[in-house]
Chain A
Amino acid sequence: MNKMVRVITAFLLFFALSGASAMASDTIKIGVQAPTTGQYANEGQGIDQGVRLIAEQINAKGGILGKQIEIFTCDDEGTAMKAAICAKDLVNKGVIGVIGSYTSTCAEAAQATYYRAGVLQTTDGTSDTLTEHGYWTFFRNSFPNSAEATYTANYFINVKKYKRIAIVTDFSSYSTGLGSSVEAEIKKLGGNIVYQGKIKAGAQNYTPVLTKIKSKHPDVIYFSGYYNEAGLLRSQQMQLGVTADFYGSNACDNPDYIKLAGKFAEGSYLINVPSPELLPYDLAINFLKDYRAKYKMDPPSIWTLLNIDGMRAFLYAIEQTGTTDTKKLAEYLHTIKDYPGITGPIQWAPDGNRTGSAHQTYEYQADGSKKIIYPVVK
């Protein structure tokens, strides 16, 4: 009958065990908050592997300020609630900076905790709301949705002169956020949107929506969403004989898109900042080489590299200022100009946005490679 006692003993034991941590050490602790399992496991593991690669390289050279870098990874599984727990966990482990997460939602759910604890955060999340809170701890290593939306609308209306535009999103916050920004920008330029609908990520069968789109005779289908759905949309679009141009947004940039779309990838378009293999910088070429050597695969996408850039900037700031005081590091990070990153020069606006958008439009070629078609390279 003393089952209650047993329950309690179990509780106390577990919590006592878990409570024993947080000892002072002389390493520089960096956190990784990434979805290493779940729907975006692929991207999450890429970020984690990339961060560990950089840490390994620097540690081999003797570390920073004479200290070794120690990496703590927390799996947020791509969900906001787990992200909130991760944030507390990483803060608790005494990290001074956090790399990630992959999705805007997870980054936003963790943001306030890092801010309150004075922990620096760098994420590839593109949602505009991330920089609206005015947290000094926040540094976006990608470019916000609003920048991509302006670029996309201008390109569609003023360059390509599309007359009938169909917009498709999924139900995620990134997708609907970018989709409605693009819609607003297109309307501002007087564009004509003939269809707007949502698909459910993971459902795989998008023929009903595409058939509906077919009945609207659009000259372009724009999808703001992730690569898995984009690949299926493109291939099903062509199988249904819908001849409109197909554009994917930044999160469609993944080698899996081509595998899914198959031969239909040719002639479809992508709007994004440059992808890993198209980066002209030596830093990028070397990083890709090292990554392949260590993990026997390519990084899943540009998002890994953007996050790595955020991390590199943090480490650079520690090196330059000779401190791990995050307040001073943040002040320094806001002053850097054109710090050479893997993904191009890095600098931050006061609100934590990375400045200097580099969006480009690519056309997929028959061999699966991408060709920049706008802005026109002189």
Chain B
Amino acid sequence: MKKSPNKKIGYTVFILAMLLFPALANPKWLAIGSTFLIFSVVGLSEDIILGKGGMFNMGHALFFGIGAYTAAIANHTFGIPILYAIPLAILIPALCGIILAGPIIHLRGDYLLVATIGFNIVFLQLVENDIFGITGGPNGIFGLDTPTFLGFDLASPTAIYYLGVAVLLLTFYVMANLDKSKAGRALHYLRLDDLAANSIGINTRGYKIFAFGLGAGIAGLAGVLLAIQYSAVSPEAFNFMQSVLFFSIVLVGGSSLPGILMGTFVMFVLPEIFRDFATWRYFIFGFAMILAMILRPEGIFPARFGKIPDYFKKG
């Protein structure tokens, strides 16, 4: 991606602000900040499927949840330190993404949407019913071991926050590379026109499944962070409403890096800020969602495909 100087400054200031944030924040806002980072990563992974691939995935909490549960079960049932479970917590959701997407990937638009909702609901019932006796039922799994790394206590709120920053930067890196790669271009074309992309020889099915696998893997990684932050996993953190949240993050923010961050901020942090409005908060929030879409139908920061130089575009 060709970066304009302003953009470079923007990213630098943003990263600096992220790094300095713990010095300013009190514990509550540090916790919200960490969750913000985690949800941003999930938002970015949903963006690969929904924003870049154009596939209506409204079950993304499923992969987030599989990652979190994989880490929690590895730790709680098998006594594996939670950090060593990370590769597994990326691999298993990615595999699930590929296996589950396989049979439904040919579904068009809204049918895909309902199929992914279906997967999410089935997953929730599996964990709520304590399948194989390892998911902890409706309560979830509480009291996971707090991880240490090189003698450093990772359970401290600040450590979790910086872990979140690291994972977010890593995700940025993956996303930037994806934009430049063959797969990124293929996703772009097949989103614009599936049929045309297919007819010029792009393996649309293969790339769609790839997008699901990649998105699911990254969401799984974010799930591990969530499990570490709360030392717990709980079914309702991965329910259908949560999927709706991730879906809305991508659409409200727009399919771009700043877009996803803004989307996460608007959809997750704002309601926390306005907590004092209590019963009125979601009422007003709903209007805000409608208004946001009317004013910015493509999201606050819409996608701009990186290969087109600025001077070829209008405005």
Contacts and interface: CB of A to CB of B under 8 A. Distances in A.
Report A-B touching, CB under 8 Å. yes
Interface stretch (A85-93, A153-161, A230-238, A355-363): A85-93
B279 A37 contact: yes
Interface stretch (B133-141, B166-174, B189-197, B202-210): B133-141
Contact of B24 (A4, A19, A84, A133): A19
- Provide the main secondary structure of the chain A interface: helix
A7 B258 contact: yes
Interface in B245-269: 258, 261-262, 265, 269
A1 to B, nearest CB: 4
A109 B26 CA distance: 20
A112 B17 contact: no
Given A36-B278, A105-B139, A108-B142, A18 B265 contact: no
Given A4-B258, A15-B25, A88-B31, A109 B232 contact: yes
Interface in B204-228: none
Interface string A71-108: 00011000111001100110110000000000011001
A5 B137 contact: no
B84 interface: no
Interface in A134-180: 171-173, 176-177
Contacts of A84: 31, 230, 232
B225 to A, nearest CB: 13
Given A22-B26, A36-B278, A7 B236 contact: no
Contacts of A21: 26
Contacts of B234: 79-81, 105, 109
Interface in A1-53: 1-5, 7-8, 10-12, 14-16, 18-19, 21-22, 36-37
A272 B84 CA distance: 46
A129 interface: yes
A79 B142 contact: no
Contact of A7 (B4, B261, B273): B261
A136 B169 CA distance: 40
The contact size tier of chain B is 35 or more
A68 to B, nearest CB: 20
Given A19-B24, A81-B230, A4 B11 contact: yes
A7 B14 contact: yes
Given A8-B13, A176-B138, A1 B261 contact: no
B21 interface: yes
Contacts of A129: 139, 142
B27 A8 contact: no
B27 A19 contact: no
A3 B257 CA distance: 11
Given A11-B21, A15-B33, A176-B138, 14 more contacts: A1-B6, A3-B10, A4-B9, A4-B258, A7-B258, A8-B13, A37-B279, A79-B234, A89-B28, A92-B26, A108-B139, A108-B142, A109-B232, A172-B138
Interface of A: 1-5, 7-8, 10-12, 14-16, 18-19, 21-22, 36-37, 74-75, 79-81, 84-85, 88-89, 91-92, 104-105, 108-109, 112, 127, 129, 133, 171-173, 176-177, 198
5 contacts: A19-B25, A79-B237, A108-B142, A112-B231, A176-B137
3 nearest A-B pairs in the assembled complex, by CB-CB distance: A4-B10, A80-B234, A173-B139
